[in-house]
Structure 1
Amino acid sequence: MDENDVPPLFLCPISLQLMRDPVTVCTGITYDRENIEKWLSSCKNYTCPVTKQPLSQHTDLTPNHTLQRLIQAWCSHSACLGIENVPTPKPTIDKTQILKLISEAKRFPEKQLKCLKSLQSIALESESNKLCLVSSGVILIDFLASIMLSCISQEDSPLKSEVAIEVLFHLNPCGAQLKNLINNEGTIQLIEALFQVLRHGNYKSRSYATMLLKSAFEVAGPTQSSSVRTELFVEITRFLKDQVSNQGSKAALKLLVELCSWGRNRIKAVEGGSVLVLIELLFEVSERRSCELMLAALDKLCDCAEGRAEFLSHGAGLAIVSKKILWVSHVASDRGVRILSSICRYSATTKVLQEMLQFGVVSKLCLVVQVESSFKAMETLKLHSGVWKNSPCIPLPLLSFHP
């Protein structure tokens, strides 16, 4: 039996599939709970799909018990035709139950792990449960952050910290919610808690912490973003070096780029060892987006004298950046040229200029001028044209592109 044999009344207007948990919105239209919740939360489309009337983001979804019984009766009657029975949906969780769990965990520390696992099950069960957990707001976030911090400071069972950060990660709070949370004085400990998990957690927990920190700092204010400690850059760098996961590494790179938009943070990142690790990773990584992010981070770090000095202390820094130009993407080429331009403009010793010739960096800049008509590459070549003009290291066909 296919979908054409299902009574239209039993089909969800969004997916045109058999409803398993019919709920009615304020416009009087009935949808399958999973479909309408995805419509409201993921699609960010707060209108009734059928009537186009506006709906609240957290609109009340009233279970349609009559339709549920009709669907179950029809499934039972059609069992001989291969139709599976639709089980009765579990009752949805409400905010009162969440607060009760949190209160119980606070009063009875020995019950904390049990309460955390209950919250974990709730978060993974359905989208409506996630929305309910998120609606608990600061109270829940503070509770999870305090668990993560206490497990570190008291050397408590790491399992509690692992479950706490997994609950927080699966809530996937939106930017506005995170902004309200991290700007609230009572939740400043959230950043510290994530930092501690990044430092002491297992691989999975460290990945969660990195991705949550990335999301948090994307919406953080100038005070929080510009006042991070050097130790955070040490842990971000260590996470990148460990190559825990592809998704986590990209989050760490984005976090590094975001934080290094603030001048003083660049020096902290250099002190944390970021420059040398990024250069080493460029040798190993060929995936486009990862290369772009690494070069973007190096570009930020080479804006400060400390970053350029660290970059030049690596014997292959110039060579690997030059290699990525015209090889990965236009974005990567642009970032690579910017790095070389910073080196040429502010750190061009005689030794550096000779190395740029020997490693083929000058030839690559000539190619960029030829292929992409890059003003930045042309400008960089002009800075030291007197030194490079007559060098045998520049191929003859490219001499016409040298200023």
Structure 2
Amino acid sequence: MGDLDQNEVEVPRFFVCPISLEMMKDPVTLSTGITYDRDSIENWLFSRKNDVCPVTKQVVVDIELTPNHTLRRLIQSWCTLNASSGVERFPTPRPPISKTQIIKLLKDSKSPHHQIKSLNRLKSIVLESEKNKRLMESVGAADYLSTIISSSMMTSSSQQVFTGAEETALCVLYHLKLSPTGLKSLFGKTGDFVETLTRVIQRADGYESHAYAVMLLKSMFEVAEPMQVTSLNPKFFTELVRILIDQISQKATKATLKLLISVCPWGRNRIKAVEAGVVPVLIEALLESSEKRVSEMITMVLVQVCQSADGRAEVVKHGGGLAVVSRMIFGVSPVASERAVRILHSVTMFSGNTRVLQEMLELGVVEKLLLVLQVDCGRKMKEKAMEILKIHSRVWNKSPCITYNLI
């Protein structure tokens, strides 16, 4: 309000926003009948993710905000009348996007003549604000977008390309950041949307489309039902492994690892992942990884796949498997150390043949396990290390590499 002297001019009470307690620049009325300044109520509802009216405490069902043009004009007129007291007149705000406009754009996005233009406009709208994301979700944008993506992937031909229109639709769908309810609905909207996104990963040329597809899958499986997780196609895991191999982006890699962590414990998924070749890829990634969080996620996936005989066999078969897992103990973080001991526990308890036990001696793994017992670390980690040493102490005590009796 510029250099307004509060002692000379008193702002009318109904010009003041109930949230910011400042004069409203762009008054809008909520479905509960209370008027707020647009920035304040949008921040309350969309950035801070509240779902009630700050004044009435009623649940906000309709998130569309209605511009209070009459009040805005009154405020602007009052500012003009009090200009001599240092009151600055607020400019007329740019009209926000409306439900009607979004619905028209969504309908046009299905028309070959208007598709690209409409999708690009939807992309700019969704990237503009949290409010626009929620508004688009409320009018069923996910339905339109998922249908556009699925229609291009319906053919089983691997020659079917993922075009610019579908790429933009996927970009918009990902950036919608759908609510849990919206994510759950994707599973059943257009047949098997998981299969659709799997085909996108397989066929898309741009690395962004791969990343959006896997990150959207990660979000979907965070809210999925058990039946949806246990019925995954082996191709799903093949494409996830390919993303890890291609290393298209750090975001895609992290999303893929999180996705594997969430789905591997269910049904035969860990076996499907192993058959897709995930173990050697993870071990190679662990050898190259320089980021703590990535290393922690990789070790978690290995913990899960090592609960299957095939997974343990792959770790043992890999020339650097036991070595790189052993290197994680006290090498990255307490979390990675604990998970590395869990992996070794699975291997030695169920796949600890003579060759494996000898390799663990030669690599210094046994000494690492002894060190675990001596330093300050988690109780469960110590218990697993102690159990490994107890079970195989007879074998290891015979070795000239061990100069004192194990437990």
Partner of residue 384, structure 2: 376
Distance (Å, rounded) in 2 between the aligned partners of 1:15 and 1:367 = 58
Equivalent residue runs for 1:96-245 within 5 Å? 96-106=100-110, 108-137=111-140, 139-149=143-153, 155=160, 158-182=163-187, 184=188, 186-201=189-204, 202-245=206-249
- Whichever residue aligns with residue 122 of structure 2, its letter is L
Structure 1 residues 25, 382: CA separation in 2 closer, same or farther (over 3 Å shift)? same
| Structure 1, unaligned runs of 5 or more | none
| TM-score, with length taken from structure 1 | 0.86
Partner of residue 393, structure 1: 401
* 1:90 is the counterpart of 2:98: no
Q: Find the partner of 2:367 among 360, 363, 380.
A: 363
Superposed CA offset, 1:283-327 (max 9, x none): 222322211111110011111111111111211111111111123
Contact persistence 1:104–1:111 (CA under 8 A): yes
Distance (Å, rounded) in 2 between the aligned partners of 1:328 and 1:63 = 54
Superposed CA offset, 1:27-84 (max 9, x none): 55432324323322343322333x36223253452212234335656499979x8979
Contact persistence 2:2–2:88 (CA under 8 A): no
Structure 1 residues 337, 133: CA separation in 2 closer, same or farther (over 3 Å shift)? same
Distance (Å, rounded) in 2 between the aligned partners of 1:178 and 1:3 = 49
Q: 3-state DSSP class of the match of 1:125?
A: coil
* 1:312 is the counterpart of 2:313: no
Distance (Å, rounded) in 1 between the aligned partners of 2:3 and 2:27 = 17
Contact persistence 1:181–1:187 (CA under 8 A): yes
Structure 1 residues 52, 333: CA separation in 2 closer, same or farther (over 3 Å shift)? farther
- Whichever residue aligns with residue 194 of structure 1, its letter is L
Superposed CA offset, 1:244-286 (max 9, x none): 2222221110101111112411121112111111111112223
Q: What do you get for the CA RMSD once the two structures are aligned? A: 3.2
Structure 1 residues 271, 71: CA separation in 2 closer, same or farther (over 3 Å shift)? farther
Percent of paired sites with the same residue: 48
Distance (Å, rounded) in 1 between the aligned partners of 2:343 and 2:106 = 50
- Whichever residue aligns with residue 339 of structure 2, its letter is R
Structure 1 residues 71, 279: CA separation in 2 closer, same or farther (over 3 Å shift)? farther
- Whichever residue aligns with residue 238 of structure 1, its letter is R
Contact persistence 1:151–1:161 (CA under 8 A): no
Comparing 303-312 with 110-119, which one deviates more in the overlay? 110-119
1:355 Cα offset (Å): 0.7
Contact persistence 2:241–2:278 (CA under 8 A): yes
Equivalent residue runs for 1:267-346 within 5 Å? 267-346=271-350
Partner of residue 38, structure 1: 43
Structure 1 residues 378, 179: CA separation in 2 closer, same or farther (over 3 Å shift)? same
Superposed CA offset, 1:69-112 (max 9, x none): 35656499979x89796452224321x44444444443x42432
| Structure 2, unaligned runs of 5 or more | none
Q: Find the partner of 1:266 among 270, 281, 288.
A: 270
Contact persistence 2:146–2:173 (CA under 8 A): no
- Whichever residue aligns with residue 333 of structure 2, its letter is S
- Whichever residue aligns with residue 241 of structure 1, its letter is I
Superposed CA offset, 1:4-23 (max 9, x none): 87969666554567755321
